[in-house]
Amino acid sequence: MRKIIIFEGSPRKNGNSSLLARQVAAGAKQHGAEVESFYLHGMDIRPCSACDACQASLATDCIIEDDLQSLYPRLRSADALVFASPVYWFSFSAQLKLLIDRCYALTWIETGSPLTEEETSYTFTTDLAGKKTGIILTYGDTDPFSSGAVNALRTFQDMFRFVGADIVDMIYGSAMAPGEVAENHGLMQQAFTLGKRLAETA
């Protein structure tokens, strides 16, 4: 059975990005996947302190004792990851950024970090390689560029290219009031289909 983890990065439990995230979950479950969703705003996730303790080896997790400790094994074993967020100040939410920064612990820079003056490149391995991913973004503006959604999408593209993870689809659209996105039937369907695709290809 495919394992899919969905991270909801909005503080609004019934907000637009969470509604789309639930559509992904519904599509995935209907096609036989095991889905776990996490409401990040309700979790104790502290910022990365750049102590580099996680860089002892790929198997070494972060030493910060918070709710991510129970999530690291799940992140490692998941077949697919979905990141859902509102656009806040022209990027994704701080709740999601905290999680993403802490994914540093799933990536091991083998030649050491930072690079010495003699080193021109480094090699790294990561437990995120090969995972399927999906992205969900909602924003109040009507344009993906002026809203800042494109900045967030670019960040995800750079991140997943860096770790060698595949983006299966990016679901993004305009909605302001909580739940308003439910009227966008095309987007709701696209999210459901993403769940189906993650269940099949993860």
**At its nearest, how many Å lie between ligand FMN and the CB of residue 78?**
22
Instruction: Pick the closer one to ligand FMN by CB: 54 or 148.
Output: 148
- Rounded Cα–Cα distance for residues 79 and 172 (Å): 22
**At its nearest, how many Å lie between ligand FMN and the CB of residue 169?**
18
**At its nearest, how many Å lie between ligand FMN and the CB of residue 95?**
10
Instruction: Pick the closer one to ligand FMN by CB: 181 or 202.
Output: 181
Contact of 10 with 132, CB cutoff 8 Å:
no
**At its nearest, how many Å lie between ligand FMN and the CB of residue 49?**
25
Instruction: Pick the closer one to ligand FMN by CB: 39 or 90.
Output: 90
Instruction: Pick the closer one to ligand FMN by CB: 10 or 107.
Output: 10
Q: What is the 3-state secondary structure (H, E, C) of 25-58?
A: HHHHHHCCCEEEEEEHHHCCCCCCCCCCHHHHCC
Bridge partners of 158, per DSSP, are none
The binding site for ligand FMN (CB under 6 A) comprises 10, 12, 15-18, 86-90, 138-141, 147-148, 175-176, 178
Contact of 202 with 165, CB cutoff 8 Å:
no
- For residue 114, whether the previous peptide bond is cis, meaning omega lies within 30 degrees of 0, is yes
Ranked by CB distance to ligand FMN, the top (closest) residue is 15
- Rounded Cα–Cα distance for residues 17 and 14 (Å): 8
**At its nearest, how many Å lie between ligand FMN and the CB of residue 183?**
12
